[in-house]
Amino acid sequence: MSKVALLIGVSDYKNGLLPLPSAVKDIEAFKRVLSDSEIGAFKTVGVLSNPDPSSIKIDFQAISSLTKDKNDLIFLFFSGHVVQDEQGKLYFATPNTTKPQSKERLKTSTFSFELINELLNQCQSRRQVIVFDCCFSAAFTDQGLGTDQAIVDLQAQLGGEGRAILTADISHEYSFEHKEDGLSIYTDYLIEGLETGMADGDRDEMIAVEEWHEYAQEKVKEIAPTVMPQIYAFKESYKILLAKVSRDNPKQLYRQEIERLISDGKIAPDNYIYLKKQQSLLGITPKDALIVEQATLRFYRNYQKKLQNYEETLSQVMAEHGSINAQSRLNLKQLQQILGLKSKDIEPIEKRLTNVKSKNVVDASVLPEKLTIPVPLNDNFIEFCKQELAGYVGPMANMMVKQALLGQSKSELSCQQLIEILSAKITNSQQAEALKRTLLLGLDKN
């Protein structure tokens, strides 16, 4: 599989279009991460700074000719102004573009989206990713004054099979703000997601286009709430794998330490002393450490919400049907895909809920002694607790059980006390009660 990219940035605008100093810096930043063998591992990365339309076409054709198979990947990045004619057609502006200008001049001084679409359709690759970090504005033509309220329809003009389109914001209010490093806000967070590996939401050591978009979107919203990054993907193209994450990346090792210490969606203040030592050992700057911490906590909370969503739906199915029939299974499978959960994520939930349904609730007449007489802890029951708790908190289950046992020997803590401690860690009262019932039932087997 071949991976090729063309990065186009225009900063030198004049005569009606504001200069965008960060545009050429954006493409250099992308070249760095895409060319990195440990991140993008792109075979060829072409860069065009302030090009004219003919140069874009020549390099576009040269790059696309390097794709020989439908599984090859072509990546296009545009940073600059995008203008619109009175018919709503879009054009990427070059240094030759002025505003206002005649309709004929507009076509010769820009690179049209129609031509981009045509060239991509001729390309052998059916894995195509296009990113626009652009200011969208209407164009003045001899047909009249364009309106900055015109509707931008990227899907209609560029949508196609195997194609994913990411854009900072298609509204005409998007300001090309830049951060301290000189990059635009959107590009800066796209780069950050790749360089730190934090865009790897499902932690499979690969960054898919959808994960990448979600990471940048969340980060942009934090500092620019009015900016709405968008993604337009045809069928399965949102799953296109763009980059990889090295398991030995210091930031990933730091992420693992954070995951180990998270409890109830937070990091205890005293754990930050340990984390600061880890930062020093791993050679991570305070800025990068903060990025990793925020991304890890955000992933953990989102993951918990997804598990809760799936569990609530499954609970409704069980309450209505008493079991999972064929149609319910299909619906649950679709929900699993929408939520981005893996089979290993939902298996503990299904096991627990179907088990609870079959046994209903804990009946004191069934287990009178186990409910009233303290039962000594044993390794089997501790492992059972970890497995059941994983259905609610995922990978954090092991650490939560360890924290519950911290500083206490097995002889000092009964099974019932451990059950109370773990149940109290679940904020949703219904889920907490369900976990408690399941663990009490487990006393019989362990």
Name the band, by pLDDT with cuts 50, 70 and 90, for residue 359: very low
Point out the least confidently predicted range of 66-75, 135-144, 196-205, 361-370. Answer: 361-370
Name the band, by pLDDT with cuts 50, 70 and 90, for residue 246: confident
How large is the C-alpha radius of gyration of the chain?
27
Q: What percent of the chain has pLDDT over 70?
A: 88
3-244: CATH topology is Rossmann fold (3.40.50)
Q: Is the pLDDT of residue 396 over 80?
A: no
Q: Is the pLDDT of residue 178 over 70?
A: no
Question: Is the bond into 100 cis (omega within 30 degrees of 0)?
Answer: yes
As beta bridge partners, residue 244 has 206
Q: Once rounded to an integer, what is the mean pLDDT over residues 215-241?
A: 87
| pLDDT value at residue 144 | 42
Q: What is the DSSP letter of 334?
A: H
Residues contacting residue 381 through CB under 8 Å, at least 6 positions apart: 375, 415, 418, 442, 443, 446
Q: Is the pLDDT of residue 364 over 70?
A: no
Q: What percent of the chain has pLDDT over 90?
A: 32
Highest mean pLDDT among 175-189, 196-210, 252-266: 196-210
Distance CA 297, CA 285 (A): 18
Residues contacting residue 311 through CB under 8 Å, at least 6 positions apart: 349, 353, 391, 392, 431
Name the band, by pLDDT with cuts 50, 70 and 90, for residue 177: low
H or E element that contains 170:
none
As beta bridge partners, residue 289 has none
Name the band, by pLDDT with cuts 50, 70 and 90, for residue 445: low
| pLDDT value at residue 191 | 94
Cα three-residue angle 186-253-390, rounded to 5 degrees: 95
Q: Is the pLDDT of residue 170 over 50?
A: yes
Residues contacting residue 276 through CB under 8 Å, at least 6 positions apart: none
More confident residue, 366 or 311: 311
Name the band, by pLDDT with cuts 50, 70 and 90, for residue 73: very high
Average pLDDT of the residues of the chain: 83
Q: Is the pLDDT of residue 5 over 90?
A: yes
Half-sphere exposure for 440 (CA within 13 Å, toward CB): 24
Parse the chain into domains and list their residue ranges: 3-244, 250-343, 361-442
